[in-house]
Structure 1
């Protein structure tokens, strides 16, 4: 090796040591910078000079060069952290919402909803003691009003909570798009830097920090291509591509709720609508990695508005002419089983939807059972060509003289086709009319029957027909029939937000029908007793997966217990995920984190290497000087 070549070896050592010192200093400068990843200089041998001899090929080294300055990351730990932090976000989002729901019912603090139910029950008990008492009647009306007002308050608060979640969804989508745009910009910067041989590690730090944040919102996957840019997919769909960003849009419902649904504007489904980002056909699970991302957690918890009709009711054989062998019963059971699957897949996983549906079922059951005592109906059911079966409000099949003296053909124009649990027509028809014969009447001079305690805001309870029965006009019950697929269909159910105390009874408590319809003016103790007995009746199951029917108080206890259990589970999952995420992050920080002590050790090592290279050059310089001055 010549002396001039030896100079080159020394200079390469200086350069290598200097670059290592610079990287170490950069690490020390950013030791407390969040998101910074430790950098390391990789050196390799320069090309060798090969000289052939008689026996072998001789090689002469030319020093070392810097191959690249790399970031110390573990791709596996990065993927694990982003997956687990996304799962933590999913459960955290729901745990926060279930806490809000628990507070709405005030079971842990404030005035509980259960106390409103108990107050209504107490007023009924007082009414049973003195049905003629104006004080007792007024108390019933007032407590009923307070009960409905509390129902409306909870309903309004649930809607407000849904709107808050809706806003969070909108903000999350906005932030996700901002991250996508910035990732695309960073990809351009990385390409520009690295194509000319410069290090773009600081841009990579920012990019990885953004990927960490994106992973908390949605399920992401990504890969780095040869030019240094990163391609990102969200929920299996391309998000950041080589050509730009496929931003997420929002599809908004046209009702008063204005609910947002994230969609891919660039992709159209079979219905010519933008394809939704998330698929909620099945409940999210950890096994399938479908429980990832706070955005998905918010969407799942928010759901849509829940109604009591979302809870399928198992058909009863006694409601069919041939019992369990009736083809309509068999068909209804098949529909119920499918509706139960749909409930478990779409309604039950949504915290707000399920809460509203179960709460609505409680309110619907209580108001309709009280109404059916004060204003009882007779209901006929039949199939085409079949014989009508009449039942009273208690479900008893009427026979002989009990059957209403009316031709069913006179009610043909007012029949309603029943629907199964899936909302499909069953081929059975029904019609309900006021049971004038057994209905109690008001205490005033009019002796009016059919005054229910609770009304629907948009629909009166009865419609007077030009049809007579026993010399009196038939009062047709306006059924709770609603077809969301029919544009002209009006929502007229005894449901949250639709119920109010009868305005006429509010103005005149004597209109509460508690008297016999025998024109004697005597008060019916039986009616007051039936009202009191309502609280002991088993009226509904909490959901289609249980068989046990509950009284109103039992139902509310089971309802609040389910909310509490759901909250406990979600909070436990969130806590567990927080521990898992922190554990993975700790492992990750051991790889990418910067230790000042370790870097100072490296600085001493590279300083010594620099000094050694300097001393090497000094020696070569002295040798060259000796050759020139002494031998020149």
Structure 2
């Protein structure tokens, strides 16, 4: 080896050591930078010059050292696991936040609990049954009934407003996804251009892209892969989000023409981003992403008591075929309930709360103006039971058939249609009950469509509690029914619950079930947070910068630099000696 070529060997050592020192300094500088991946210098032989061959090996000399690459130290398995689990944490954390918001609406923790309105109404009902003729007792009963209804409407309105206001969070999340997708696409272009010479790696740009993928993984269920050009393509919920050449934007659209609720859609593919009809499970990875968590907890519509299936009761007149058909229809409705209502925190609360209000309102009404079924011309009608309905104290009318609670848009009773050949057969003065129609919200005794009967609120004496017109005696049976009302079996909270609650227990069970659901979601979220931290700690153990390790490398590369410098000095002295001696 000539002395001149030996100088190049020393220079290569200086250059490699200097670059290694720069990389080490870069690592130390970014030791506290979030998402920074430590960089590692990989050195390799620059090359060899062949001298010849002997019987043992090839005779060759080394030409120095070269930096093969400056690589990032990451573990792809931990990255993918982290992005999956942080998305799952976001899914459950979002739903838990919804539960806490809904719980606050009932005021159980703020001293304005709905339970108080419920108890006050029940207490005044007891007093009314004891002193039905006292005007002050009637006035107090009407006041508590009105307060009970107003408080129920306020909670219902808050639930609906919160449901609609979640549109803002959904829209913000969609905008965040689109922004991240654009940034990833821009970084793809920069990384591809930077690395096109095949000599360098755009490590800092890759760190920025990995941070965006971490963030995106918390919002959506994503999958991704990197091609040979350093470009990462991303699929979100199984559909292309970022490709080599473009990004596909998400948009928001109405759930239906009649709804104010919004949902994310792929405008380019003309389909929804999420398939909410699939069962939520970890096995199928359908419980990932805070955006989906928002949609699931919010639901797709406003729910009411008609959304809770009620198991049919077999009557003496039902045939086996009729009962089997009713049970089959009930089973289908239960499946729909579990798929569409029960998964949503807001819709479940709306339906169960409305079921309570509907039950109380209709039960009280049925005491003041009971109905019975009559069959005329082969057709069955539900009509006011005048034989058992109590009368008002209003002289001289002694009104009969006035309910405490009215529907705002639909009367409780209607007169027979004289033009109908069957209805015309009904006795004169018959009052036909206007049935509730699940397809017509205005016909339902649902929160928002109920009001205190204005005739009774203006004239307390119209409250029907007398046993007869002008007799002066009070209807003892009606009074007893009012007393027994709170102790009567009502309904189960849902078709998934076997326990049938009484009115006095229903609200307690309702709030207890909501609290239990919140605890389960919080527990799952906390477990996921622990899992995410464990994976991130493992990941940081590989990609994170250790000051001790980097300082060790700093000393190592300094010694290597000094050794190369000393090597060049020796070669220089040898060359000077040779030149001066010639």
Partners of 2:257 and 2:450 lie apart in 1 by: 20
Name 1:221's counterpart in structure 2: 223
Q: Which moved more, 1:142-151 or 1:312-321?
A: 312-321
CA distance in 2, matches of 1:76, 1:471: 80
Matches within 5 A, 1:595-606: 595-606=546-557
Q: Could you give the per-residue CA deviations for residues 308-356 of structure 1, whole angstroms, max 9, x where no partner exists?
A: 111111111116433xx2x121011012112222222221121111111
Contact 2:391–2:469 (8 Å) recurs in 1: no
Deviation at 1:629, TM superposition (A): 2.5
1:48 maps onto 2:48 in alignment: yes
Distance in 1 between residues matched to 2:411 and 2:121, nearest whole Å: 23
What corresponds to 1:365 in structure 2?
359
The CA deviation at 1:599 is 1.5
Q: Distance in 2 between matches of 1:213 and 1:42?
A: 30
User: What secondary structure is seen at the aligned counterpart in 2 of 1:239?
Assistant: strand
The alignment partner of 2:430 has SS state of: strand
* Offset, 1:570: 1.0
2:539 corresponds to: 588
Aligned to 1:348: 342
Partner of 1:104: 105
Which residues of 2 match residues 411-560 of structure 1 at below 5 A?
A: 431-444=381-394, 445-465=396-416, 466=418, 467=423, 471-483=427-439, 489=440, 491-560=442-511
Does the aligned pair in 2 maintain the 1:43–1:67 contact within 8 Å? yes
Distance change >3 Å, CA 92–CA 319, structure 1 → 2: farther
How many angstroms apart in 2 are the aligned matches of 1:408 and 1:361? Answer: 33
Q: How many angstroms apart in 1 are the aligned matches of 2:425 and 2:393?
A: 24
SS of the residue aligned with 1:221?
A: strand
String of CA shifts for 1:151-208, please: whole Å, max 9, x gaps: 0111122122223322111111111110001100000110111113443111111111
**Alpha-carbon shift at residue 583 of structure 1 (Å):** 1.5
Superposition pairs for residues 247-286 of structure 1, below 5 Å?
A: 247-253=249-255, 258-267=260-269, 274-286=270-282
Superposed CA deviations along residues 453-488 of structure 1, whole A, max 9, x for unmatched, are: 1111221111222356775233222211132xxxxx
State the TM-score, normalized to the length of structure 1: 0.87
- Equivalenced residue count is 573
Conserved? CA contact 1:283–1:346, under 8 Å: no
**CA–CA distance in structure 2, aligned partners of residues 431 and 468 of structure 1:** 12
Give the equivalent residue in structure 2 for 1:295: 291
Which of the numbers 529, 540, 553 marks the counterpart of 1:578? 529
CA distance in 2, matches of 1:254, 1:280: 15
Mapped to 1, the partners of 2:491 and 2:425 lie a distance apart of 34
Query: Which runs of 5 or more residues in structure 1 are unaligned?
Result: 268-273, 381-387, 389-405, 410-429, 484-488
In 2, distance between residues paired with 1:243 and 1:613? Answer: 47
Q: Is the 8 A contact 1:438 1:517 kept in 2?
A: no
Q: Indicate if the aligned counterparts of 1:480 and 1:494 stay in contact, CA closer than 8 A.
A: yes
Q: Which residue of 2 aligns with 1:32?
A: 32
Do residues 379 (structure 1) and 373 (structure 2) align?
yes
d(CA) in 1 for partners of 2:362, 2:448: 15
**Corresponding position of 2:6:** 6
Cα distance in structure 2, aligned partners of 1:227 and 1:351: 45
TM-score under structure 2 length normalisation: 0.94
Q: Which residue of 2 aligns with 1:336?
A: 330
RMSD value, Cα: 1.9
Correspondent of 1:241 among 237, 240, 243: 243
Structure 2 runs not aligned, ≥5 long? none
CA distance in structure 2 between the partners assigned to 1:336 and 1:471 by the alignment: 36
Give the deviation of 1:263 after TM superposition.
Answer: 1.3
1:626 pairs with 2:577: yes
CA deviation digits over 1:104-143, x for unaligned, max 9?
2222331221221111111111111121221121111111
